[in-house]
Copies of this chain bind each other. A is one copy, B any other.
């Protein structure tokens, strides 16, 4: 029996979580589309987070990181349309003010409120508009509100991203769900992305934080669309224990299943982000194996996945392995050209650093689909790494000519 089962929903799939969204008019041009979301736990939850490593950090990142030091959290406020980044001390004040106002409305401690923003950088948050919507937002909270929240955090996303899993563990049943938004600025070490995960499992803060780190490392840190890492990247998880039962202990079968479920939800959401990258037409898995170290494998993966020329070739159905080998060569890893093999979906393109005798039409076919894998075998060791990326299309450039 499979112990992990996909279920409907996202942040409200787990017991004891409610969500809602309203239109606050944060970005004047987003007429009438909801842009402010709230996700709340009926009982105080333990929480953990992973944030952008960009030195330029948005105000909500700074405030949420500070609030996560509190033992518990009750709610997360999220908005699209404005990133509240590069907004100086006023931006910090605005983010803090929102948490304070929401804490008032929800009647909880201010440090139990977390906040996430995504959208335009450098524009002051329309604080008044947002604050006056908080009572309505709280009043609308519902166990069916997950979808509305997932839609409200979209920016240039073309679809709402939700995923949830039910876990049947020996000690009982629990759920892990989540929502995310992505689109531009997607890079390893995260992106202009927000992700909020919820679970009704009972787990300690430390165990939760470790599990989240592992899951992010295997999912969001392995996706790249354009190589740009944003100022707002945030992954949060709230665990409210509403499923009941004993707390999940490190090393127990429940712990293994919980980790697996969290990884799976993060991976599915990360794939949705890549698939929905701005102007993207292909989902490409870049695998490096035979590297002398994990670090080397990762460097080669990322150089190939972020090469403008490699990505343009993919958009044009061109199995241009020269550009791949070129990127592998300049990334700083001491590869040995004459040892390198390259495959497109298992079809050998390069053998020992030079063209394999594969008919070109076979290679063209391999890169012409909307999903394929590039495998680079360095034949220098046993380390391997995988990154998920996209092609680079004219549409991407068009979409990013201005914000």
Contacts and interface: CB of A to CB of B under 8 A. Distances in A.
A86 B339 CA distance: 11
The interface size bin for chain A is 35 or more
A403 B231 contact: no
Given A55-B333, A228-B330, A315 B86 contact: no
A313 B352 CA distance: 40
Contacts of A90: 354
Given A184-B309, A185-B309, A354-B87, A326 B230 contact: yes
A395 to B, nearest CB: 8
Contacts of A400: 308-309, 312-313, 316
Interface in A219-270: 226-231
A31 to B, nearest CB: 22
A122 interface: yes
A327 B53 CA distance: 12
Contacts of A120: 322
B228 A323 contact: yes
A230 B307 CA distance: 12
Number of copies: 2
The A interface is mostly helix, strand or loop, or mixed, namely loop
A398 interface: yes
Contacts of A185: 309, 326
A51 to B, nearest CB: 13
Interface in A328-371: 328-330, 333-338, 350, 352-355
Contacts of A231: 322, 325-326, 329
A63 interface: no
Interface of A: 53-57, 83, 85-88, 90-91, 120-123, 184-185, 187, 189, 226-231, 307-309, 312-313, 315-318, 320-323, 325-330, 333-338, 350, 352-355, 392-394, 396-398, 400-403
Closest 3 A-B residue pairs measured CB to CB? A316-B401, A121-B322, A56-B329
